[in-house]
């Protein structure tokens, strides 16, 4: 039987195993990061109010860079995250523009406008938002939805 040689300064068996175990871990983490980068959206999560849910769409076009964002939930109406009135201002009443939003839009810079409305909001309210945007001088309006393919 051949005697086992001891070498000074040589890495132990445990250390060699540790290095070998790290390589698959790096592979796994790299795969995770790539999968996250492909599956996640660079847009921040849409948090307007509790229970807010965007409509689902089959379209795949990425949203543009808006100058302003108008949010309409079940409770409030927001311009760039700032509450400009109750949702009832758009949800209730007849046709015509939404006055609190119209006054805020007149003071805001002009450019592409992004609309984010709750999926349960009726079209009458959405139509009033579009009318308000048109009368305030916004010609480029985009309705934001969640890609059905991302779910």
Local structure of 65: helix, strand or coil: coil
**82-86 and 76-79 beta bridge pairing:** antiparallel
Least CB distance to other proteins at residue 86 (A) = 18
Helices 99-107 and 123-135, interaxial angle, to 10°? Answer: 40
Query: Which one, 1 or 42, has the nearer CB to other proteins?
Result: 42
Least CB distance to other proteins at residue 136 (A) = 8
Least CB distance to other proteins at residue 84 (A) = 19
The interface with other proteins within residues 82-121 (CB under 8 A) comprises 95, 114-115, 117-121
Least CB distance to other proteins at residue 68 (A) = 14
For residue 9, the surrounding DSSP H or E stretch is none
The interface with other proteins within residues 32-91 (CB under 8 A) comprises 32-33, 36-37, 39-46, 54-64
Instruction: List, in order, residues 6 or more apart from 140 with CB less than 8 Å away.
Output: 111, 112, 113
Burial status of residue 125 (CB atoms within 10 A of its CB: 0-12, 13-18, 19 or more): buried
Tokens describing residue 31: 């795969």
Residues of this chain that bind other proteins (CB under 8 A): 7-8, 10-11, 15, 18-19, 22-23, 25-26, 29-30, 32-33, 36-37, 39-46, 54-64, 95, 114-115, 117-124, 126-127, 130-131, 133-147, 149-151
């Amino acid at each position: 039987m051949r005697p086992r040689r001891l070498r000074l300064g040589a890495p132990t068996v445990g250390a060699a195993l540790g290095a070998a175990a790290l390589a698959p871990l790096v592979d796994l983490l790299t795969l995770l990061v790539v999968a996250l980068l492909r599956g996640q959206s660079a847009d921040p999560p849409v948090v307007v109010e509790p229970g807010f849910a965007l409509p689902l769409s089959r379209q795949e076009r990425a949203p543009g860079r808006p100058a302003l964002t108008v949010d309409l939930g079940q409770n409030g109406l927001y311009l760039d995250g700032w509450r400009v009135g109750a949702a009832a201002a758009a949800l209730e009443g007849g046709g015509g523009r939404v006055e609190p939003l119209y006054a805020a839009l007149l003071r805001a810079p002009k450019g592409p406008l992004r609309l984010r409305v709750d999926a349960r909001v009726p079209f009458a309210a959405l139509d009033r938002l579009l009318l308000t945007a048109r009368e305030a001088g916004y010609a480029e309006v985009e309705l934001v939805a969640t890609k059905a393919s991302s779910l």
